[in-house]
């Protein structure tokens, strides 16, 4: 993969039909790595899971907080990928120190949201087990010429990215800072011209993809870290 992810090949992975800046890297990991990672995810203690409406998650590395994250050691099986992705330059020379593992059953999703200011403004995602469509939206109030229009989710929807299993997706700049992203809770995805990376992701217009269970590894860098819990109470 280091071979594949040369600076030149990375340039080719930019999704030019999306706002700046999206990299979509197909087959970033092998099927063996995918199986191994899924095995590790499902081997984690039951208590590591938090059930939310429409997904469940594991948080690794600590809880991001405005005052700083109390850093926790990331297990080796995730640390490897934190380092690999960081070595591509995704976090301006810093190493990722936070991983969110999300599991979506078919028909589950995540509401449109921003990842916010606690992270270096880059999110990198490895997908395991199934594809999904990641949908992008304008933020409320940003659609100035159409102020008459009610700002429904449908009206704010802009485009989607197809993310296949084993791919790496990197979102930076406007794609991180000014747009919302979410995953519709559905069991099937029709591939239309609204999917802006169809060719890069090996999708065919008109095709319908059936969702299975998808596990995503959302790998980020939290700049503000507190080494020792005791510091928390101090000025």
Which residues does 151 contact at the CB level (< 8 Å), separation at least 6? 140, 141, 143
Among 34, 103, 115, 135, which residue sits at the site for ligand AKG (rule: CB under 6 A)?
Answer: 115
Q: Does 110 bind ligand AKG (CB under 6 A)?
A: yes
Q: Minimum Å distance from CB 216 to Fe ion?
A: 10
Tell me the three-class secondary structure of 30-67, residue by residue: CHHHHHHHHHHHHHCCHHHEEEECCEEEEEECCCCCCC
139 and 180 in contact (C-beta within 8 Å)? yes
Q: Which does 197 bind (CB under 5 to 8 A by kind): Fe ion, ligand AKG, none?
A: none
Nearer to ligand AKG, 6 or 210 (CB): 210
Nearer to ligand AKG, 149 or 202 (CB): 202
Nearer to Fe ion, 33 or 174 (CB): 174
Distance CA 211, CA 57 (A): 18
Distance CA 72, CA 98 (A): 9
Among 58, 86, 102, 197, which residue sits at the site for ligand AKG (rule: CB under 6 A)?
Answer: 102
Q: Minimum Å distance from CB 102 to ligand AKG?
A: 4
Q: Does 125 bind ligand AKG (CB under 6 A)?
A: yes
Number of residues forming the site for ligand AKG (CB under 6 A): 9
Which residues does 153 contact at the CB level (< 8 Å), separation at least 6? 112, 137
Nearer to Fe ion, 32 or 133 (CB): 133
H helices within 87-200, ranges in order?
A: 153-156, 173-177
Where do contacts with Fe ion occur on this chain (CB under 5 A)? 115
Distance CA 34, CA 233 (A): 41
Which residues of this chain interact with ligand AKG, rule CB under 6 A?
Answer: 100, 102, 110, 115, 125, 134, 181, 216, 218
């Amino acid at each position: 993969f280091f071979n594949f992810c040369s600076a030149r090949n990375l340039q080719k992975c930019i999704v030019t039909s999306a706002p700046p800046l999206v990299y979509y890297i197909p087959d970033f990991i092998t099927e063996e790595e995918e199986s191994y990672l899924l095995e590790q995810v499902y081997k984690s203690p039951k208590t590591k899971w938090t059930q939310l409406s429409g997904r469940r998650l594991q948080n690794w590395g600590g809880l991001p907080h405005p005052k700083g994250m109390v850093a926790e050691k990331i297990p080796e099986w995730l640390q490897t990928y934190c380092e690999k992705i960081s070595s591509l330059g995704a976090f301006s020379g810093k190493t990722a120190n936070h991983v969110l593992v999300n599991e979506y059953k078919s028909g589950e999703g995540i509401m449109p949201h921003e990842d916010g200011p606690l992270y270096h403004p880059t999110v990198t995602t490895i997908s395991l087990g199934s594809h999904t469509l990641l949908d992008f939206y304008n933020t409320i109030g940003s659609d100035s010429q159409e102020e008459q229009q009610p700002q429904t989710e449908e009206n704010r929807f802009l485009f989607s990215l197809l993310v296949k299993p084993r791919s790496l997706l990197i979102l930076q700049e406007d794609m991180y800072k000014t747009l919302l992203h979410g995953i519709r809770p559905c069991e099937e995805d029709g591939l239309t011209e609204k999917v802006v990376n169809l060719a890069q992701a090996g999708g065919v217009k008109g095709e319908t993809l059936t969702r299975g269970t998808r596990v995503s590894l959302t790998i980020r860098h939290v700049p503000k870290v507190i080494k020792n819990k005791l510091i928390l109470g101090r000025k």
